[in-house]
Amino acid sequence: MDINVSVESIDLGDYIDGHRDEDGDYVPGGTLADAIAHKLVEKFSRSDLYDGFRDRVQRIRDEEIRAQLAPAITEALANPIRRTNSYGEQTGPDTTLREVIVDEARKWMNTKQEQRYGDRSTTTNLQAMIRTAVEDTFKAELADAVKEAREAVVTGLGTTVAEMVADTVRQALAKR
């Protein structure tokens, strides 16, 4: 039995009706190009190359977003802005976003740190941040020093114990 199928002309823009795939899932209709692209993406996403490709695309996307935003951020930092109240009325002279950020950072650094149970502290946020950084650095260096000392003790004890065992064996052999 011979079956002949004749396709006169086919174009990637030709419409394909919705159908069920090999798993029985419904695939909505679309162009032939859509169906081919969907199959290629489906197969590619299961391959070993997909993770590296996805990471590269995300990295390129992030770089492009940064490149597009950089001029807008530079402009926003440099151009004057008007200080207003909640009604939009001007409350002071024009300033820049850079000056607002510096003022807010300065306020945060000089704000007294709140303690539990309403106790007043004389420590500023900046002092607390520096203290924490110094403590963390000191703890890390102290941990390294303790580790080195422990290794030195273990090495020293190992040598001393070996010498003690050797001396005991020599003495036992000398008595024989």
Rounded to an integer, the average pLDDT of 78-97 is: 88
Quick check: helix, strand or coil at residue 111?
coil
> Which region holds residue 67: left if phi is over 0, alpha if psi is between -120 and 50, else beta?
alpha
Q: Of 53-62, 71-80, 85-94, 112-121, where does mean pLDDT reach its minimum?
A: 112-121
Residue partners of 85: CB distance under 8 A and separation at least 6: 91
Residue 107, pLDDT score: 92
pTM for the predicted model, two decimal places = 0.41
Confidence of residue 119 (pLDDT cuts 50, 70, 90): low
- Of 143, 108, 142, the residue nearest 128 (C-alpha): 108
Encoded tokens for 18: 């919705």
**Cβ 16 vs Cβ 28: under 8 Å:** no
Tell me the percentage of the chain whose pLDDT exceeds 70.
91
Residue 9, pLDDT score: 83
Write out the H or E segment, with its range, that includes residue 26: strand 26-27
Residues 83, 41: Cα–Cα separation, whole Å: 51
Residue 116, pLDDT score: 67
